[in-house]
Structure 1
Amino acid sequence: MPKSITVDRVSKTYGSGEDAVHVLDDISISIPEKQFVCILGPSGCGKTTLMKMMDGLIDLSAGEIRIGDNVITEPTPEAALVFQNFELFPWRTTLENVELGLEILGVDKSTRRERARTWIDRVGLDGFEESYPSELSGGMQQRVGLARALCVDPEVILMDEPFGALDAQTKDKMQTQLLQLWEQEKKTVVFVTHDIRESIFLADRVLVMGTKPSSIVEDIEIPFERPRWKRRVEIENDERFAEIEQLLRERLGLKAEEEPEVVQ
């Protein structure tokens, strides 16, 4: 069952004294169950730090994070994290990588293999069960990572720039496949990205983080109805898409520079 995420006045500081680096400052976010939220922000603003704190991988300096009613203090099977660099074990096959989370949870071999094969099929990798990561393209490796996350049936999926290393065409296909799976599963999703257009196409809401020490400087509701994956061109040509893109660019400090004077 999907659950809500609450980030309540969270701050993060590395080090102490003169060497202290204040990364996150008093961040509060409320994400209802089944909502798809994208987080945008400049490089180094703490997006990945916030994501890892949601997954219980990094301690908080102040505040509290909850999934449903459960306070997150350590990694939990309620959340699954999908990384940009795939994080697949090179000595394990596709099947063995996908079933890894279930193996860690102590699920018996027969059950976990059946569930892993189901998700391998659902992400379009049927026939590649015995392939190793080195034998798969970047897009295929990321589908393995996505299947591994979904295989444990988490309440929340955390995705840290999962398509950032992919070429444009593969990224387009992965965005479409992700939306198709999300429409079927309706998990709560938090998706970190640098890609403004990606965030508008995927999300119900886009949160913008400022520079360090970071806080949420904008929270934008995306108005386009779902399902969207069938209407990508229509949505991206909608004048509201351009307006939201311009607003996000401004909040990220990416305003277009004035035209230079023409010397006669």
Structure 2
Amino acid sequence: MPKSITVDRVSKTYGNGEEAVHVLDDISISIPEKEFVCILGPSGCGKTTLMKMMDGLVDPSEGEIRIGDTVITEPTPEAALVFQNFELFPWRTTLENVELGLEILGVDKSTRRERAQTWIDRVGLDGFEESYPSELSGGMQQRVGLARALCVDPEVILMDEPFGALDAQTKDKMQTQLLQLWEQEKKTVVFVTHDIRESIFLADRVLVMGTKPSSIVEDIEIPFERPRWKRRVEIENDDRFADIEQLLRERLGLKAEEETEVAQ
């Protein structure tokens, strides 16, 4: 079952004394179960650090993060993290990469192969089970990463700029596929991005982070009904989309003539 995420007065500092770097400052976020939240902010503001703390890879200096009622102090099967650079093992086939999480959890071979095959089919990679990452396009590699995350049936999916390295057309396709899968699975999703328009199209809420030491400077509800994946042109041409985009630009300190995507 999907679970809520609570970030309770979390701060993060690296180093000590004069060498200390204060990255995050007193961040509190409440994300109900099944909600799709995007975190938007400039490069270097600490989005990835916050994401890694949600996954248990980095400890907060102050405060705590909970998934459901569980305080996160180390990586947990309750959360799955999808990276921008795919993080696939080059010596493992598509099938072997997808089943990796289940293998780590000690699931028997026949069961994990069956579940991995199900997710390979669902992300549209049937026929590529025996292909290695070097034989796949960037979009296909990201589908492998997504299938691997969903295969372990986590309560929470954490996505750290998963489509940032893809070309525009592939990115659009992956956004559509993600929304289709989310409509079916209704997991709790936290999605970090630089892309303003991506965040509006995907999210129930967009959280905007400021510069270091970062805090949440805006929490915006997105009004568009779901499902959205068949209505992209309609949504992006809606006056409300333009108004939200302008508000997000202002909160990020962007000028009107700059590109939609925050400087990377």
Once residues 136 and 33 of structure 2 are traced to their aligned partners in structure 1, the CA distance between those partners, rounded to angstroms, is 34
DSSP 3-state at the match of 1:64: strand
**Kept in 1: contact 2:195–2:261 (CA 8 A):** no
Once residues 215 and 140 of structure 1 are traced to their aligned partners in structure 2, the CA distance between those partners, rounded to angstroms, is 35
Change over 3 Å in CA distance of 1:74–1:181 after alignment to 2: same
**Kept in 1: contact 2:209–2:217 (CA 8 A):** yes
Once residues 256 and 33 of structure 1 are traced to their aligned partners in structure 2, the CA distance between those partners, rounded to angstroms, is 35
| Cα deviation code 1:233-263 (max 9, x no counterpart) | 0000000000000000000000337999999
Change over 3 Å in CA distance of 1:257–1:139 after alignment to 2: closer
Change over 3 Å in CA distance of 1:113–1:26 after alignment to 2: same
Runs of 4+ in 1 over 2 A off after TM superposition: 255-264
**Kept in 1: contact 2:208–2:219 (CA 8 A):** yes
Change over 3 Å in CA distance of 1:186–1:261 after alignment to 2: closer
**Kept in 1: contact 2:103–2:112 (CA 8 A):** yes
Indicate the residue corresponding to 2:184 in structure 1.
184
**Kept in 1: contact 2:12–2:22 (CA 8 A):** yes
The normalised TM-score by structure 1 is 0.97
Change over 3 Å in CA distance of 1:262–1:9 after alignment to 2: closer
Once residues 226 and 98 of structure 1 are traced to their aligned partners in structure 2, the CA distance between those partners, rounded to angstroms, is 29
**Kept in 1: contact 2:42–2:263 (CA 8 A):** no
Indicate the residue corresponding to 2:44 in structure 1.
44
Change over 3 Å in CA distance of 1:84–1:262 after alignment to 2: closer
Once residues 198 and 262 of structure 1 are traced to their aligned partners in structure 2, the CA distance between those partners, rounded to angstroms, is 11
DSSP 3-state at the match of 2:247: helix
Change over 3 Å in CA distance of 1:98–1:263 after alignment to 2: closer
Once residues 55 and 182 of structure 1 are traced to their aligned partners in structure 2, the CA distance between those partners, rounded to angstroms, is 19
Change over 3 Å in CA distance of 1:261–1:141 after alignment to 2: closer
| Cα deviation code 1:165-220 (max 9, x no counterpart) | 00000000000000000000000000000000000000000000000000000000
Change over 3 Å in CA distance of 1:261–1:75 after alignment to 2: closer
Once residues 173 and 261 of structure 1 are traced to their aligned partners in structure 2, the CA distance between those partners, rounded to angstroms, is 18
DSSP 3-state at the match of 2:219: strand
The normalised TM-score by structure 2 is 0.97
Q: How many residues align?
A: 264
Q: CA RMSD in A?
A: 4.2
DSSP 3-state at the match of 1:3: coil
Once residues 178 and 234 of structure 1 are traced to their aligned partners in structure 2, the CA distance between those partners, rounded to angstroms, is 19
- Paired residues for 1:1-264 under 5 Å: 1-256=1-256
| Cα deviation code 1:102-122 (max 9, x no counterpart) | 000000000000000000000
**Kept in 1: contact 2:196–2:261 (CA 8 A):** no
Change over 3 Å in CA distance of 1:225–1:106 after alignment to 2: same
Once residues 257 and 85 of structure 1 are traced to their aligned partners in structure 2, the CA distance between those partners, rounded to angstroms, is 30
**Kept in 1: contact 2:194–2:262 (CA 8 A):** no
DSSP 3-state at the match of 1:110: helix
Once residues 83 and 103 of structure 2 are traced to their aligned partners in structure 1, the CA distance between those partners, rounded to angstroms, is 19
DSSP 3-state at the match of 2:218: strand
Once residues 82 and 137 of structure 1 are traced to their aligned partners in structure 2, the CA distance between those partners, rounded to angstroms, is 17
Once residues 256 and 141 of structure 2 are traced to their aligned partners in structure 1, the CA distance between those partners, rounded to angstroms, is 36
